[in-house]
Amino acid sequence: MRKVIQGVGVLLLLVGVSGAVDHLWAQPFLGVVLNSFNRFVVPHVALFEGYEVLANLGVAAAGAALVLGTEALRPRSRA
pLDDT at 23: 83
DSSP code per residue over 6-46: HHHHHHHHHHHHHHHHHHHS---SSHHHHTHIIIIIGGG-G
Give pLDDT, residue 27.
Answer: 67
pLDDT at 28: 67
| pTM of the entire predicted model | 0.84
pLDDT at 58: 96
Q: What residues in the chain have per-residue pLDDT under 70?
A: 27-28, 78-79
Look at the alpha carbons of 63, 69, 70, 72 in this order and tell me if their dihedral is positive or negative.
Answer: positive
SS3 category, 51:
coil
pLDDT at 64: 97
Q: What is the pLDDT of residue 79?
A: 62
